[in-house]
Amino acid sequence: MKGPFAFGALRSARRKDTPVGPGYKWVALSNTTLGVLIATMDASIVIISLPAIFRGIGLDPLAPGNIGYLLWMILGYLLVSAVLVVVLGRLGDMFGRVRIYNLGFLIFACASVALSLDPFRAGAGALWLIIWRIVQAFGGSMLTANSAAILTDAFPARQRGMALGINQITALAGQFLGLLAGGLLAVVDWRAVFWVSVPVSVTGTIWSYLSLRETATGRPGRVDWLGNLTFAVGAGILLAGITYGIQPYGDSATGWGNPWVLTGLIGGAALLLLFCFVETRVAEPMFNLALFKVRAFAAGNLAALLTAIARGGLQFMLIIWLQGIWLPLHGYDFEDTPLWAGVFMLPLTVGFLIAGPVSGFLSDRFGARLFSTAGLLVVAASFLGLLALPVNFDYGLFAALLLLNGLGQGMFSAPNTSSIMGSVQPEYRGVASGMRSTFQNSGTALSIGVFFSLMVSGLASSLPGTLSSGLQAHGVPAGAAEHAASLPPVSTLFATFLGNNPIQHLLASDGSLGHVSAAQRATLTGHSFFPQLVSGPFHHGLTIVFSVAAGMALVSAVASALRGSHHAAPGSPRKDRPATGMARPAPQAPNNSAS
C-alpha cells in the first residue's frame, strides 16, 4: 500500500486479533446496539426540544434571516450521516471495522460534551451547536457505518437475521425515542438534551475499546480520493438543495424555482454521475458498483430508500398533526405539545420493538423476502388507514394504526438488512453497510424536502383564503388579516413544529392583536381557533402526503419481492460455520440470487 495511509499503525488494523470466544458475538451485539441507539436518538432528539434550545440561547428561529439556523439544526446531522457513512464503511473494510467504530464512539463522546457546554448566545450560540452537531454526526456515522458489518462478521449465518434485527430495529426505535427524550429533557433544561449523551457515549467508548476485537481481515487498498470527493460534495449539495427547496422564493410558497436550489440539484446530480463514472475507472474504487448486479443488494437498498422517505414523512407529518391540531383541540397548550406529541407516538416505537427481533429470527429460517414484502404491505395499509382518519380522530384507532405501521416497518427492516449484508462477500461488508445506511439516511433527509413541499403545496391552495376570512370574522383588521394570510405556509408549519401558537406568531409582529377585544384575543390565541381553522386545508395536504407515502411503500414491496430466493451468495459464509469475514478476491460477477 502506498500513500499517506501506509503507516504501521494503520497496517496493523488489517491483521486479525487473537481468536474470540463463543460469547463474543453477544458482546458485539450489545455494544453495537448501544452505539446505533445513541447515534440515532441524537439524530432526532433536538427536533422536539428545538423551542427550549432556541429560548436557551436567546434566538428566535422564525425571525427573518434565522430560518437557516433552524434548518441546519434539524438537517445538519442528517446530511452528514447520509454523505459520510459509505466512505467510513469503506475505510472500515480497509483499516479495520472495529478501529473505525471505536474512533467514532470517541468522537461522538467529545462532541456531546462540547454541545452541552455551549458558551455563546444568539447566532454565535446556534453556530456552535450546528458545528458540533456536524462533528457528532461524523462520529455517529462511524458507528452506524460499521455496526452491521461487525455483527455480520461476529454471528453465524443462522443467527445473523436475529442479531441484525435487534440492532437495526433499535436504530429505528432510537429515532422515535429521541423525540420522547427530547421532550422530557427540554422541560428540565435545554442543555440536558445534550448532557444525556455524555455518560452513554463515554461508557460506550471505554467499553468498545476494551471489549471489541477485529474478527475479519482488512482488505489493503488505496484511498479513492476522487471518488470520496465527488460523492461527498455531490450528495451534500444535492440534499442541501432539496432542503432549501422548502423555503419560499419570491411569490412562490416553495423554493424549487430558486436558481441556487436548481444549481444545487443539477450540480449535485452531475457530480454523482461523475462519481459513478470515476468508480468504474479507478483500480480500487470507494464502492464497487458491480455489487448492484446482486439482485438482493440492489432491490434491498431501493426498498430501504423508499421506505426511509415514507417513514421520515410519517414522522414529521405526525408531529405537525399532533402539535398543531389534535393536542390543542384536546386542551393541551401549544408550549406543551412537543412533549406530548412524543408520548402519543409511542405505539409506533412499540411496533418496531415487537416485530423487529421476531421477524429477524424467523427470516433466518424462512428467508427475507416473505417478511420484508409482507411488512411493506402492512405499512402501505397503515398509511391508507391514516388517510381515512378525520383530522380530529379517536386516539384508540390512531394508536392502532401507528402500532400497525411500526409492526410493518419492523417486519421489513431486520430481514431486509440481513438480506443486504448476506448478499455480499465478507471483504465488502463495511462498504455495503455504509451504502445501506446512506440510502436510509438520505431517505430521511429527502423526506423533509419531499413531504414538506407536498404539504406546503396543499396548504398554499386553500390556507390563505381560509385564514384571512377567519381572522377578519374575529375582529382583525382586513389589512392585517391579508398580511398574515399572505405569509408563506412553511412559516405556519414551522411555528406549529416548534410548539408556538401560530396565530400569536402571525399577528404579534405588527401589533394586530392590540386592535381586537380581550374576548376576541382570547378566542384567536386559544386552543381551538387555529386547529379548527386549518383542519380543512391541512387535511387536504395530508391526503397528498399519505397517498404518496402509501405509493412508495407499495413500490418498495414490489422491489422487495424481486430480491430473489433464500440461499447464500457465492463468497458468503456457509450457514454451518461462523461468518469470520476472511478476505476473498474481489468479485467479478456478483451473485444475483442471494437471500
At 582 the pLDDT is 34
Q: Which residues on adjacent β-strands are paired with residue 249?
A: 252
Length of the chain: 595
Cell of residue 160, nine digits = 445473523
Task: Output phi, psi for 284, to 5 deg.
Answer: -130, 85
Tens of pLDDT, residue by residue over 248-272, are 777 776 777 888 888 888 998 898 8
**What are the DSSP calls for 213-232, one per residue?**
---S--------HHHHHHHH
CA distance 389 to 394: 8
Give the mean pLDDT of the chain. 76
Does residue 515 carry a pLDDT above 70? no
Does residue 536 carry a pLDDT above 50? yes
At 572 the pLDDT is 40
Q: Which residues of 529-559 are buried (b: 16+ CB within 10 A; e: fewer)?
A: bbbebbbebbbbbbebbbebbbebbbbbbeb
Q: What is the mean pLDDT of residues 142-161?
A: 78
Within the chain, how many helices (H) and strands (E) appear? 23, 0
Give the least confident one: 182-196, 431-445, 507-521.
507-521
H or E, element range at 101: helix 97-116
At 217 the pLDDT is 58
Cβ contact 271:237 at 8 Å: yes
Does residue 397 carry a pLDDT above 90? yes
Nearest of 562, 586, 479, 579 to residue 159 by alpha carbon = 579
Cell of residue 328, nine digits = 390543542
Q: Please give, one letter per residue, the 3-state secondary structure of 313-369.
A: HHHHHHHHHHHHHHHHHCCCCHHHHHHHHHHHCHHHHHHHHHHHHHHHHHHHHHCHH
Cβ contact 15:96 at 8 Å: no
At 381 the pLDDT is 93
CA distance 39 to 60: 27
At 220 the pLDDT is 58
Does residue 10 carry a pLDDT above 90? no
Does residue 399 carry a pLDDT above 90? yes
Cβ contact 244:261 at 8 Å: yes
Provide, rounded to the nearest whole percent, the portion of the chain with pLDDT above 70.
82
Task: Output phi, psi for 252, to 5 deg.
Answer: -90, 145
Q: What is the mean pLDDT of residues 340-346?
A: 83
Residue 50 binned pLDDT confidence (cut-offs 50, 70, 90): confident
More confident residue, 127 or 8: 127
Residue 4 binned pLDDT confidence (cut-offs 50, 70, 90): very low
**What are the DSSP calls for 183-210, one per residue?**
HHHHHH-TTHHHHTHHHHHHHHHHHHHH
At 382 the pLDDT is 92
CA distances from 78 to 74, 139, 304 (A): 8, 12, 16
Nearest of 33, 43, 38 to residue 150 by alpha carbon = 33
CA distance 535 to 52: 27
Q: SS3 for 229?
A: helix
More confident residue, 180 or 35: 35
Of these ranges, 307-316, 410-419, 525-534, 552-561, the one predicted with the greatest mean pLDDT is: 552-561
- Identity of the residue numbered 309: I
More confident residue, 168 or 271: 271
Q: What is the mean pLDDT of residues 471-494?
A: 73
The structure's pTM equals: 0.72
Through-space distance between the first and last CA atoms of the chain, rounded to whole angstroms: 35
Nearest of 82, 112, 84 to residue 100 by alpha carbon = 84
485: Cβ contacts below 8 Å, ≥ 6 apart: 463, 464, 465, 467, 468, 471
At 482 the pLDDT is 76
CA distance 408 to 356: 9
